[in-house]
Structure 1
């Protein structure tokens, strides 16, 4: 995290963009339009070749000191995790919030989340409901919906309760566009794992947070998660990459929790899920080979 004493903002918002000109303005405007105004916005360009950088330079000119464009040292594509870590290295806020370049925040997100976090200094993170957003496209053939939170809303949860539920797919993940984290949590636990360039990249931080920090889960709606054919999640599902990516994440998490001295309870929960998912994947692989 950057240590810049000049007018430190309360919140650092970080957007990673890679050829995201189509939706980028809408994402940035949802930050600029927050009722809570004590923020800085860092937009990390991950090697875009479209007009994304030009769009952000326009915001830099209109909002000097509030919006900054960052890039990697070689101006090439390094993936979402490395780009989020690039933003974290420059972040000055007491709190950090991420927003993908195709998603949006609702206007009261930061105001309401900061208020809850400041009422309980022990909280490491807060998240709420996220709209799974199809209606942005008038031609969409699916209705908007919300995933069940999986726990009672408007309550604080001690670790590792939420991690155990997340491993079992019994709780909504703290979506990247929704969560607000205390910046000190990154100093303690580290950021995102650079080797995860696409799928499960957000979970490489969220899993650590849920394992070690108290988290508040709200019933409030704070973000819209845009659904479209060009998204990373759709591309992964189309390629059949979701299952291998989940197993790779579980293997990584198993090692990280051992390195960070996690309790036997946490490590046992991860190992059980990893063993089950690996067995299922091997069974499906054998079945496909037999059918050829």
Structure 2
């Protein structure tokens, strides 16, 4: 039960972290500061070796019934997807939101997104724009709001978004901290793909998103209530800097082709996009990524 309300939380927030002592408290505080109160926060420690474990446990002790901290068996590091899945297994809310441990939310995020999901019961997931946040480190830097790459707000039936968004098309993809999903959909499609580990974690969110795109209606909102921290040492910059982006992209494309075959999902247009993408995977960086990171 929710310790303050005496009732089940409507939204479960999942934050998986690995050695994020610099940013974790700020992420947690952005959940605590939400105008919407029917939430629980599940902090998933993915085998951290710094003080972030202590930070998470201190917040859990201060907010019993609202914040909890869980770990993998024996404190192992299993990767972001497995950690999110652990959080999902502990979630009680009908809606689940994900907040990366180095990102933050604006105060209206849960209130606005819950309202949209209530008004649009057909939607399995909602995705919003994200603010690519540079000024956290350099106040003079310009932050950039990147909308999800579609031309209208509203509901998109499967598989429309695959034809419009990265990585099989040119539209900007949603960031994990900007989405909210019905728990029933997460359970139906078995959450995140835990084999996307190491450098392949760069595409772990895309594997999850594409399972939803292929099977369920998704609501796209132009609003922005999340700040996506841009920083040195991020996985995006590490993988691209090491020249491994094409390897990771090919891994995802091959997984997507196998997933569609296994589940007998047939969309000729998507099949054509996949074939073309696999043929040119050595040149994968689309223009909006290049503009942001290079």
Q: TM-score, normalised by structure 2?
A: 0.89
How far the C-alpha of 1:131 sits from its partner, in A, is: 0.4
1:253 aligns with 2:252: no
Say whether 1:10 aligns with 2:13. Answer: no
Q: Which runs of 5+ in 2 are unaligned?
A: 1-5, 285-294
- Paired with 2:255 and 2:269, the residues of 1 have a C-alpha distance of 14
Partner residue, 2:288: none
Query: Residue 263 of structure 1: CA displacement?
Result: 2.0
Q: Provide the C-alpha distance between the structure 2 equivalents of 1:241 and 1:121, rounded to a whole number of angstroms.
A: 40
Equivalent residues in 2 for 1:1-292 (5 A)? Answer: 7-138=7-138, 142-166=141-165, 167-197=167-197, 198-265=201-268, 267-278=270-281, 280=283
User: Is the partner of 1:114 in helix, strand or coil?
Assistant: helix
Give the superposition deviation at 1:111: 0.6
Quick one: distance in 2 between partners of 1:72 and 1:177?
22
Question: Whole-Å Cα distance in 1 between the matches of residues 49 and 78 of structure 2?
Answer: 14
Is the partner of 1:12 in helix, strand or coil? strand
CA RMSD of the aligned region, Å? 1.7
CA apart distance, 1:278: 3.7
Does structure 2 retain, via aligned residues, the 8 Å contact 1:103–1:223?
Answer: yes
Q: Look up the SS of the partner of 2:264 in the other structure.
A: coil
Partners in 2 of 1:108 and 1:139 — Cα distance? 23
List runs of 5+ in structure 1 lacking aligned partners.
1-5, 282-292
**Shift in Å at residue 21 of structure 1?**
0.5
Counterparts of 2:39 and 2:171, CA distance in 1? 30
Measured in 2, the distance between the counterparts of 1:222 and 1:48 equals 28
SS at match of 1:247: helix
Q: TM-score, normalised by structure 1?
A: 0.89
